[in-house]
């Protein structure tokens, strides 16, 4: 840029510039503003929230004050022991994990007590590897409490996305736990039917009156509350605005950035720091070539939005930072199926819950099971990557009988009373057949292998013991199952009468684990170990604190909130905690979607 052009660029001034408005960016922005700093958030998309707004919104927060309020007081050594057992000594980052564990209670307490973001406890959400030392059986996660959005000012509603199409029911989000339970039981229990009908009725009303969903749940509820908190604390949120290049002071210190705004380029001077929170690089095909079995970058289907293309990483590299991909895996794997819609568009569906349901199994092309389907999403994909022979496409099939497919969700297809015809018309990914060998033929699976797998699996399911992969052995497996089938193990039921269904599952991710190398305060590091002054990276922009492992659901958002919070406190020079990391026990943890007073 010439001197002349540079002088004509408008200048904005702030203390902290945050790139990105997901969990990491907004946590940093709200905390910095709470401590009196002037904050600008630049968000590249037309609405806030990135992958966070699409997500389930669960945050792994061991030692959180909601657990304590419920009388659960686990020693911190339990968390350390569990993490050490999952991660292994080589990848265990002592300093960053201590920073995380120390700050979780204060972070949750801060948002609960000083902002409109309220939390619901994950009292029954178990850690994935239940047989490892220190594994938890609940109370280590929180999610944003659902709420009805009429109370939000209109200018904020305008910068919030709709509920994520692929995991919502005609645009209405459903929360894991009692909320989902009512929808799954709508055809069995009258009170669940009434509940589901009322929720959906309100949703239809909102679509007509407000032209959007107003019942905020999951990650969208979290983003809506963080946006509200940011607004109340004076944060300036600019959407359709990307951070393009950093400004250095000549001594290697980052002092601002150039933004692309709808009005043209703007120069921002950030007196205290720039926080990169652009959501990692899962949508960057070129950079994804470092994923296993993905040489040209295209054999991967991420659930993250297209804006998560590594902008933060490129900015960090321009200031001497670097990509640390030394952990167990570069991405947060999730098995996905590609849904083809009637209009030719495609969507990516995450197989989060269906794999674990009794009457559903996962098989490879040879018809054989290869993994404990009811373990974490990460493990299912890691199992595929290991079991599928080199040279073959990395894919598997989930197979279910009619009872399972119509009782639970099966991929994108919802259970009864939604007719399956709705989906067969719109989807091309679900195959249906009256017999297993016919189904195998349709999918290109070895029929003999499949028949013998199902016969063996059915025998084990009747006995309640999966001697092949240990499915149903852990609290996590059993919680994901269904205790009402009448079989001894909630995770296992035989595949009974046809018709049978199959959906092809491929390698996808929630986002990246590899990321910018940072220190415990989330300051960007150079390869020589020195700090890139004035520059921070949080959320998926920083390397996963758990070394590319997946110890529990919520391990993306928990650290994103916590390190956003700690980075902002470091920038503000705050060392005292705002509170003692406790919360008042709330009688209304489950939220207020149906509360008439808020309508």
Ligand X SMILES: Cc1cc2nc3c(=O)[nH]c(=O)nc-3n(C[C@H](O)[C@H](O)[C@H](O)COP(=O)(O)OP(=O)(O)OC[C@H]3O[C@@H](n4cnc5c(N)ncnc54)[C@H](O)[C@@H]3O)c2cc1C
Interface residues with ligand X (CB under 6 A) are: 19-25, 42-45, 49-52, 54-58, 167, 219, 242-243, 277-279, 303-304, 307-308, 311, 350, 510-511, 539-540, 553-557, 560
C-beta closer to ligand X: residue 52 or 145: 52
Minimum separation from the CB atom of position 500 to ligand X (A): 27
C-beta closer to ligand X: residue 286 or 434: 286
Please name the helix (run of DSSP H) or strand (run of DSSP E) that holds residue 16, with its range, or none.
strand 11-19
Q: Count the helix, strand and coil residues of the chain and give each as a percent rounded to the nearest 5.
A: 35, 20, 45
Minimum separation from the CB atom of position 16 to ligand X (A): 14
Of 265, 329, 237, give the one whose Cα is nearest residue 18. Answer: 237
C-beta closer to ligand X: residue 42 or 460: 42
DSSP assignment of 36-76: T--EEEE-SSSSS-HHHHHS---EE-TT-HHHHHTT----H
Within a 13 Å sphere around the CA of 192, how many CA atoms are in the beta-carbon half? Answer: 13
C-beta closer to ligand X: residue 330 or 494: 330
* DSSP SS3 for 222: helix
Minimum separation from the CB atom of position 53 to ligand X (A): 7
Strands 531-537 and 264-276: parallel
Minimum separation from the CB atom of position 424 to ligand X (A): 24
C-beta closer to ligand X: residue 43 or 395: 43
C-beta closer to ligand X: residue 338 or 388: 338
Minimum separation from the CB atom of position 18 to ligand X (A): 8
Taking the C-alpha atoms of residue 246 and residue 6, their distance in angstroms, rounded to an integer, is 14
Minimum separation from the CB atom of position 460 to ligand X (A): 31
The conformation of residue 228, written as its DSSP 8-state character, comes to H
C-beta closer to ligand X: residue 60 or 397: 60
Minimum separation from the CB atom of position 147 to ligand X (A): 18
The conformation of residue 146, written as its DSSP 8-state character, comes to P
Cα angle 476, 481, 485 (rounded to 5 degrees) comes to 150
C-beta closer to ligand X: residue 149 or 552: 552
Minimum separation from the CB atom of position 310 to ligand X (A): 8
Q: Are 370 and 387 in contact (CB under 8 A)?
A: yes
Minimum separation from the CB atom of position 383 to ligand X (A): 20
Taking the C-alpha atoms of residue 35 and residue 103, their distance in angstroms, rounded to an integer, is 16
C-beta closer to ligand X: residue 159 or 493: 159
* DSSP SS3 for 196: helix
Which residue is at the shortest CB distance from ligand X? 22
DSSP assignment of 237-265: EESS-EEEEEEE-SSS-EEEEEEEETTEE
Residues in the chain, overall count? 599
How many CB atoms are closer than 10 A to CB 270? Answer: 26
């Amino acid at each position: 840029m010439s001197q002349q052009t540079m002088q004509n660029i408008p200048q904005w001034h702030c203390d902290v510039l945050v790139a990105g408005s997901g969990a990491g960016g907004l946590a940093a922005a709200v905390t910095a503003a709470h401590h009196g700093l002037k904050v600008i958030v630049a968000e590249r998309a037309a609405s806030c929230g990135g992958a966070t707004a699409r997500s389930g919104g669960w945050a792994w927060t061991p030692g959180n004050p909601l657990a304590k309020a419920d009388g659960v007081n686990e020693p911190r050594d339990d968390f350390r022991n569990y993490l050490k057992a999952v991660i292994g000594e080589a990848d265990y980052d002592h300093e960053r994990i201590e920073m995380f564990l120390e700050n979780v209670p204060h972070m949750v307490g801060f948002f609960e007590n000083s902002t409109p973001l309220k939390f619901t406890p994950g009292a029954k959400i178990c850690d994935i590897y239940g047989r490892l030392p220190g594994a938890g059986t609940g109370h280590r996660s929180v999610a944003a409490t659902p709420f009805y959005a009429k109370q939000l000012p209109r200018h904020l509603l305008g910068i919030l996305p709709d509920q994520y199409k692929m995991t919502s029911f005609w645009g209405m989000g459903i929360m894991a736990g009692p909320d989902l339970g009512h929808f799954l039981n709508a055809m069995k229990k009258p009170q669940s039917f009434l509940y589901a009908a009322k929720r959906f009725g309100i949703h239809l009303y909102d679509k007509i009156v407000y032209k959007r969903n107003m019942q905020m749940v999951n990650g969208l509820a979290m983003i809506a509350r963080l946006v509200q908190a940011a607004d109340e604390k004076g944060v300036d949120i600019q959407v359709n605005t990307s951070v393009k290049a950093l400004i250095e002071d000549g001594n290697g210190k980052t002092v601002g950035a150039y933004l692309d705004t709808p009005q043209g380029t703007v120069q921002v001077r950030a007196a205290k720091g720039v926080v990169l929170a652009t959501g990692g690089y899962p949508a960057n095909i070129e950079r994804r070539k470092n994923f296993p079995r993905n040489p040209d970058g295209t054999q991967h289907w991420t659930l993250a939005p297209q804006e998560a293309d590594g902008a933060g990483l490129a900015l960090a590299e321009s200031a001497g930072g670097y990509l640390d991909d030394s952990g167990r895996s570069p991405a947060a794997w999730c098995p996905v199926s590609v849904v083809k819609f009637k209009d030719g568009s495609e969507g990516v569906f995450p197989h989060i819950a269906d794999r674990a349901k009794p009457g559903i199994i996962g098989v490879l092309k040879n018809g054989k099971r290869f993994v404990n389907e009811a373990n974490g999403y990460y493990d299912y994909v890691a199992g595929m990557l290991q079991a599928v022979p080199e040279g073959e496409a990395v894919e598997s099939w989930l197979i279910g009988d009619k009872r399972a497919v119509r009782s639970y969700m099966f991929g994108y297809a919802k259970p009864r009373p939604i007719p399956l015809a709705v989906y067969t018309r719109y989807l091309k990914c679900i195959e249906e057949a009256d017999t297993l060998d016919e189904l195998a033929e349709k999918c290109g699976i070895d029929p003999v292998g499949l028949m013998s797998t199902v016969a063996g699996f059915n025998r084990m399911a009747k006995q309640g013991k999966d001697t092949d992969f240990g499915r149903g052995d852990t609290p996590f497996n059993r919680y994901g199952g269904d205790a009402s089938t009448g079989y001894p193990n909630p995770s296992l039921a035989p595949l009974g009468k046809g018709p049978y269904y199959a959906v092809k599952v491929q390698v996808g991710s929630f986002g990246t684990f590899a990321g910018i190398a940072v220190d415990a305060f989330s300051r960007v590091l150079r390869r020589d170990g020195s700090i890139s002054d004035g520059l921070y990276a949080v959320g998926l922009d920083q390397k996963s604190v758990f070394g590319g492992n997946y110890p529990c659901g919520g391990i993306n958002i928990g650290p994103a909130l916590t390190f956003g919070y700690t980075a902002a406190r470091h920038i503000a020079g705050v060392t005292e905690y705002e509170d003692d990391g406790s919360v008042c026990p709330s009688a209304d943890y489950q939220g207020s979607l149906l509360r008439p007073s808020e309508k």
